[in-house]
């Protein structure tokens, strides 16, 4: 793949994941505002998402979209304010993507498993 | 302030960048705390009761505003890039700011 | 400052330098270029600056005026010196040759790099191309065509300041007008030239170019069009 095509597809992936994230964040904010009434407890969280396939799917999409979205933004910041090269920023992007996926799915699958 | 940067769309960019970076830094902590529910429910509940403190509520309100600002600001950017140009840019910036503050207020009042 | 004179601070030197202060008589409808010219002709003949047409056509007199890039020949002092002081500096994001004159080489080299030039396809045997002014593509081209290459947008663009190889608003705006020119034969080369690290994807839509373009062009909107065009080309594997 040419660097021009790779760069353009990276940009497009950030935008497409942003469209998915916009929907996810609206749902997330709504849940937060409803759930925060009367305080949040671990029981409450587990009662909602534990064993629920729709919530499992929703949070899985959410985590994947973040993992695809955030590294490109971070790369832009590094590219513009530091002297890191193309190769180095790509390694950092990959590391951030994997970190979000691992930590995110650990929480999502863990919470799902508690309801089973 | 007299610089080429002092206009609504530039400030919207600054907010988008700062909120994006802040959310990225917050995310590992968020995931870590949620994962506590699996093995250490008591620790999570201790943490959650800590979030009842007024100062923490205020910080959380800040996070809600940052998330809402990054989302609405992102939709603004998508509109610029993927839709036909409209000469209402400054109004859109004002609307995204208003919606973000409203989300924060909604959270804060419900959290109280 | 009295009512009849204006305090003017003018940058002297290159990247390193200092401001010299002058008192310049105020006149009705005075432009910033009038002020600079008064200083050069009456107070300090060593002052270097660049201008040619005086009427907003040639694009050679742009300078930083009270923090913002302006075409000085059409910028009235009344509009920019609201606190009674005028601070005039060379354009940002370009190397200073001396005082208020900058080296525009890099600015024009990026036009070349963006392949922002017309590539003819017709020969002398062909008839004139028929292009309707109401054609949507022609309308896009017409909206961006009146650029005078003054460098105001380039100087106002923080992405240019942050990314040395970013092509900048002017070159990309020109590329967009050519992208919409049905007579042009350089489309695929141009799309490839404006995609990639220093290309249109680097734009963050700060819109300082749109805010300050003296011709009221909208490079941000042009660049958005290029982003869509390059995305299409990338999906199809054309770049």
Among candidates B41, C49, B103, which has minimal Cα distance to A34? B103
CA of C120 vs chain A CAs: smallest distance (Å): 25
Residue C1 banded pLDDT, cuts 50, 70, 90: very low
Q: Do B35 and A113 touch, CB atoms closer than 8 A? A: no
Residue B96 belongs to domain with CATH number: 1.20.1300.10
Q: Domain segments of chain A: what residues?
A: 3-114
Neighbouring CB atoms inside 10 A of C224's CB total 23
Residues of A in contact with B21 (CB under 8 A): 73-74, 77
The token pair that represents C92 in the structure block:
């940002």
What CATH topology corresponds to C105-236? Answer: Fumarate Reductase Iron-sulfur Protein; Chain B, domain 2 (1.10.1060)
Question: In sequence order, what DSSP letters do the residues of chain A get, joined into one string?
Answer: --HHHHHHHHHHHHHHHHHHHHHHHHHHHHHHHHHTTT---HHHHHHHHTT-HHHHHHHHHHHHHHHHHHHHHHHHHHHHHS---HHHHHHHHHHHHHHHHHHHHHHHHHHHHHT-
Q: Number of structural domains, chain B?
A: 1
First-to-final CA distance of chain C: 59
Q: What is the mean pLDDT of chain C?
A: 96
Residue B1 domain flag: no
* pLDDT, tens digit (0-9, with 9 covering 90-100), for B12-64: 999 999 999 999 999 999 999 999 888 788 888 888 888 888 899 999 999 99
Q: Per the CB < 8 Å rule, is A19 touching B51? A: no
Residue B1 banded pLDDT, cuts 50, 70, 90: low
**pTM (two decimals):** 0.95
Residues of C in contact with B10 (CB under 8 A): 158, 206-208
CA of B77 vs chain C CAs: smallest distance (Å): 8
CA of B15 vs chain C CAs: smallest distance (Å): 12
Q: Per the CB < 8 Å rule, is A107 touching B106? A: no
Q: At what angle do helices B8-39 and B41-50 cross, to 10 degrees?
A: 140
Residues of A in contact with C204 (CB under 8 A): 76
The CATH label, of 3.50.50.60, 3.40.50.620, 3.10.20.30, 3.40.190.10, for the domain at C5-102 is: 3.10.20.30
Q: How far is CA C232 from CA A68, C205, C224, C237, in A?
A: 20, 20, 13, 9
The token pair that represents C129 in the structure block:
């191309």
**Average pLDDT score over residue span C26-39:** 97
> Which of C68, C205, C227 shows the shortest C-beta gap to B4?
C68
**Average pLDDT score over residue span A107-115:** 91
Question: In sequence order, what DSSP letters do the residues of A5-17 get, joined into one string?
Answer: HHHHHHHHHHHHH
* Cβ partners under 8 Å of residue A38, min gap 6: none
Cα gap A9→A92, rounded to integer Å: 18
pLDDT at C17 over 70: yes
CA of C143 vs chain A CAs: smallest distance (Å): 25
Q: Per the CB < 8 Å rule, is B37 touching A99? A: no
Write out the residue limits of the CATH 1.10.1060.10 domain(s) in chain C.
Answer: 105-236
Write out the residue limits of the CATH 3.10.20.30 domain(s) in chain C.
Answer: 5-102
What CATH topology corresponds to A3-114? Answer: 3 helical TM bundles of succinate and fumarate reductases (1.20.1300)
> Which of C163, C195, C235 shows the shortest C-beta gap to A7?
C195
**C159 in reach of chain B (CB within 8 A):** no
């Amino acid at each position: 793949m040419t660097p021009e095509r790779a760069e353009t597809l990276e940009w497009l992936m950030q935008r497409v994941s942003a469209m998915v994230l916009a929907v996810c964040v609206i749902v997330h904010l709504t849940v937060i505002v409803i759930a925060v009434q009367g305080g949040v407890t671990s029981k409450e969280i587990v009662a909602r998402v534990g064993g629920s396939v729709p919530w499992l799917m929703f949070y899985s999409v959410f985590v994947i979209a973040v993992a695809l979205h955030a590294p490109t933004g971070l790369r832009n910041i590094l590219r513009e304010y530091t002297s890191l090269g193309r190769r180095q920023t790509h390694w950092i992007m990959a590391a951030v993507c994997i970190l979000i996926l691992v930590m995110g799915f650990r929480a999502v699958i863990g919470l799902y498993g508690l309801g089973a | 302030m007299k610089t080429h940067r002092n206009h609504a769309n530039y400030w919207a960019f600054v907010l988008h960048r700062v909120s994006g970076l802040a959310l990225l830094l917050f995310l590992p902590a968020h995931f870590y705390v949620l994962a506590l529910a699996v093995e250490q429910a008591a620790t999570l509940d201790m943490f959650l009761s800590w979030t009842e403190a007024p100062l923490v509520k205020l910080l959380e309100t800040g996070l809600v505003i940052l998330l809402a600002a990054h989302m609405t600001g992102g939709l603004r950017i998508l509109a610029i890039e993927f839709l036909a140009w409209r000469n209402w840019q400054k109004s859109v910036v004002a609307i995204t700011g208003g919606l973000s503050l409203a989300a924060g207020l909604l959270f804060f009042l419900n959290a109280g | 400052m009295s009512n009849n004179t204006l305090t003017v601070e003018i940058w002297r030197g290159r990247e390193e330098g200092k401001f010299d202060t002058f008192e310049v008589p105020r006149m009705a409808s005075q432009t910033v270029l009038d002020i600079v010219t008064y200083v050069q002709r009456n107070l300090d003949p060593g002052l270097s600056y660049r201008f040619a047409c005086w009427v907003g056509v040639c694009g050679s007199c742009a300078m930083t005026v009270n923090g913002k890039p302006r075409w000085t020949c059409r910028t009235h002092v009344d509009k920019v010196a609201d606190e009674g002081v005028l601070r005039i500096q060379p354009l940002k994001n370009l190397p200073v040759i001396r005082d208020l004159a900058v080296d525009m080489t890099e600015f024009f080299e990026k036009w070349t790099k963006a392949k922002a030039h017309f590539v003819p396809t017709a020969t002398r045997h062909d008839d004139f191309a028929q292009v309707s002014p109401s054609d949507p593509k022609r309308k896009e081209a017409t909206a961006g065509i009146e650029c005078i290459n003054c460098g105001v947008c380039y100087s106002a663009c923080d992405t240019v300041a942050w990314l040395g190889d970013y092509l900048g608003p002017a070159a990309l705006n020109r590329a967009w007008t050519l992208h919409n020119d049905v007579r042009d034969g350089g489309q695929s080369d141009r799309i490839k030239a404006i995609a990639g690290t220093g290309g249109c994807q680097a734009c963050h839509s700060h819109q300082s170019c749109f805010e300050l373009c003296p011709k009221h062009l909208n490079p941000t909107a042009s660049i958005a069009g290029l982003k869509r065009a390059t995305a299409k080309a990338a999906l199809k594997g054309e770049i």
